[in-house]
Structure 1
């Protein structure tokens, strides 16, 4: 049953149908040929006229005529005409006079001379029509009788059919071929339409971002492919739901873990502050300073982890507004200036005004972006002791550039957590419709935060 539902079975049915039509056509032609070769007696004759037999019969029957008269010859001609309706016959006397004639279409002379008779025999020999001459009663004095039959009468029945109905047969064969072509085209057109429908279903996405299921109409190979596609969509949907549940559990775990870590971290920070009030040796002061640095780093890591989790869950508050970014960055740098100065950094700030100065961004997000970048410089580029913040204006964008003279991001660092900090930068930059680039090598790192002009975006 599975085979009979397949496309192969359907196409084989088309081929068998075409072969059957051809066979029926040939059978019809055969019946038609037998019909036109039916004899007067009602029997089918498959005999082909032979020139030698007709010639022998004509001579024999002509010799058997005993009395040469108009009546006798007329009856003889009538008998032959019934057997060969298209044949022409005539009788020429010994004196050369044209006597009885039957079905003669060409103009014959009433008086036959020896010269004309010789010329007639020469022209008819081996030509068309087939010509037989015999002396009447076997006696030269009775003159001679002539039988003429067109050469086409000696052709086989199939050749006669082809000559008379060849154009119909040709059109019939062409019609069968066209029928087969049309049926094949319709068959493959249906296959192509179903495949294109399946392709469209693969490209269309549902609200969950997955392809939509397709209605299975037939149970052939394409139907099995559609069924497999639907099964794949169901498996993808189930997998995505499991992934979403796992992601939700992971976010809740990170959020709870971040909250649980901050409580003991706050206690450790309070205890370190109490210890700092006590009289400590030089080594104790250095150990306390290292502990405070670790506490700050851990707090920053927890904050980044919490922020990244909220960003991925689209739960981080986002309130864009138009702000003067030059003034905002300048004011934000004042809070970091003492930090870099305490670490011995050379600070180079060159902020030129934009045209216009206003960007539509979330101030908290933009501040968090610069905070993460500056923290990254402190942790990983501290060896270079240099930071530069400048602006850049082109026809296509307005940008802030942050440069350092560290060893580059490819070099290993004792500080941890830079990866998640820059991941937060990436999400926030793209979330506000900005762009950013990082160029890092062994001589330093340059980060560019761009606000692409609207006309340049449309050009892309």
Structure 2
């Protein structure tokens, strides 16, 4: 598998992002290279023109003086032809001729307003203003002496700028715009790249939060084999393993319940035989100790049968297969009937029994009588087993603005884990499941001085 690692790297997100960076750098370098070639070509052309004495101020000045000196005929036509020849080389140049008497004779491409007659003072002022300024100005006398007047050449100084400066002035904004476009292009590509990563991660998060019908996350479709794709594959493997584990757990739970059901049935058969044999032995002529032993045996048989019944009921309740048939019954009357059955048992054990069952505003509760009877039986059985030392049982009703309740109280030594219903034994675990199954509530308050159990039904305050 080691020789495949380079191919996995090419599919990774790191390789893709590095490729984006390389593309952006390549585009930038190509753009700079094209600009450099263009500038080099312009610079080379500018240097060639410089060698031909073009665009150089000193050469222009020297040539203007030299050509003005060699003019022979001092007429308007001759001077104008001279100006036109220079205009062909310098289209932006302005030229004019001032004769010996100070009269403006000929002019070419002159934009500013010039006086028709030049005085010595104006001429001096003009020369002073133009010296070293913009435009570049050259003044030359016509002919061999100063009696023929002078001619003036004015050229904007930007004509003599270096080629790179001209390029910057002409194309600088385009170059800057191009750089901005490249940067924005890189930002957009990066944004799309990371947005795709974010969308895939959010999709994976949604798959983790959404639950299928079996309560497990749903598998996600893997489209790419990069790091996120590997994470998605790992997630799918986890979901498959969880589903298989849950299936095994359900199968084991089903086998365990079946085992408990079969065990409960198999245990009851020998218990029935033992009870029958104990009954037969009790008819014999036994000593007092023998009779007590037979009575203890029957009590143990009853306790074991109750434990088996509780275990069977708890298993059925956990599997949601215990038959639940709710109906409206008078619960106060039902509680009195239950106490009628249990009263002799507690009286035989020497309990002080306190019963105060008052009617509720609404005695009709929608419950399963068998379930509620089983709830009372388990609570009373628990009092007999664990609170026998207190020798007290109180059964009362209580009505408040929010609920109606049955209160069962004893003076036993209390429960070790009063906040955990299962800690009180499997009997109270069945009570918890059945009470909640009938949409009732119950509370346990236990201490060393006794235990109080409330079975409550919340009132409908909207009526």
Q: What's the TM-score once normalised by structure 2's chain length?
A: 0.85
Q: Deviations over 1:59-112 (max 9, x none)?
A: 354135333535664454344333322122233344333333222111111222
Residue 392 of structure 1: aligned partner: 398
* SS in structure 2 at match of 1:2: helix
Give the conservation status (yes or no) of the 8 Å contact 2:57–2:160.
Answer: no
CA shift, 1:273, in A, is 3.0
Q: 1:397 to 1:32 in 2, by over 3 A?
A: farther
Q: 1:345 to 1:121 in 2, by over 3 A?
A: farther
Does residue 1:195 correspond to 2:196, yes or no?
no
Give the conservation status (yes or no) of the 8 Å contact 1:96–1:113.
Answer: yes
CA distance in 1, matches of 2:387, 2:151: 131
Does residue 1:58 correspond to 2:61, yes or no?
yes
Residue 105 of structure 1: aligned partner: 111
CA shift, 1:235, in A, is 0.6
CA shift, 1:239, in A, is 0.7
Q: 1:354 to 1:14 in 2, by over 3 A?
A: farther
Residue 46 of structure 2: aligned partner: 45
Moved more, 396-405 or 424-433: 396-405
CA shift, 1:164, in A, is 3.9
Q: Deviations over 1:402-441 (max 9, x none)?
A: 22222221189xxx99421122112212222222222222
Residue 262 of structure 1: aligned partner: 268
Does residue 1:67 correspond to 2:68, yes or no?
no
Q: Deviations over 1:89-147 (max 9, x none)?
A: 23334433333322211111122222212222332334332333344467444443333
CA distance in 2, matches of 1:409, 1:438: 9
| Aligned ranges 1:27-176 → 2 under 5 Å | 27=33, 29=35, 37=42, 44-45=45-46, 53-63=56-66, 65-67=69-71, 69-70=74-75, 73-136=79-142, 139-165=145-171, 167-176=173-182
CA shift, 1:193, in A, is 2.5
Residue 408 of structure 1: aligned partner: 414
Give the conservation status (yes or no) of the 8 Å contact 2:55–2:160.
Answer: no
* SS in structure 2 at match of 1:430: helix
Structure 2, unmatched stretches of 5+, are: 1-6
CA shift, 1:286, in A, is 4.3
CA distance in 2, matches of 1:302, 1:378: 18
Q: Deviations over 1:379-419 (max 9, x none)?
A: 1122222222222333433322222222221189xxx9942
CA distance in 1, matches of 2:318, 2:19: 58
CA distance in 2, matches of 1:147, 1:78: 12
CA distance in 1, matches of 2:81, 2:115: 23
RMSD between aligned alpha carbons? Answer: 3.2
CA distance in 2, matches of 1:220, 1:184: 17
Q: 1:384 to 1:217 in 2, by over 3 A?
A: same
Residue 353 of structure 2: aligned partner: 347
Q: 1:124 to 1:258 in 2, by over 3 A?
A: same
Moved more, 70-79 or 268-277: 70-79
Residue 246 of structure 2: aligned partner: 240
* SS in structure 1 at match of 2:225: coil
Q: 1:292 to 1:153 in 2, by over 3 A?
A: farther
CA distance in 1, matches of 2:27, 2:460: 69
Does residue 1:302 correspond to 2:308, yes or no?
yes
Does residue 1:441 correspond to 2:447, yes or no?
yes
CA distance in 2, matches of 1:358, 1:158: 102
Residue 333 of structure 1: aligned partner: 339
Residue 426 of structure 1: aligned partner: 432
Q: 1:205 to 1:411 in 2, by over 3 A?
A: closer
Q: Deviations over 1:171-195 (max 9, x none)?
A: 5444444433333333333333322
CA distance in 2, matches of 1:378, 1:329: 18
Residue 272 of structure 1: aligned partner: 278
CA shift, 1:55, in A, is 3.0
Give the conservation status (yes or no) of the 8 Å contact 1:62–1:138.
Answer: no
Q: What's the TM-score once normalised by structure 1's chain length?
A: 0.86
Does residue 1:10 correspond to 2:11, yes or no?
no
CA distance in 2, matches of 1:348, 1:153: 121
CA distance in 2, matches of 1:268, 1:452: 46
CA shift, 1:54, in A, is 0.9
Q: How many residues align?
A: 448
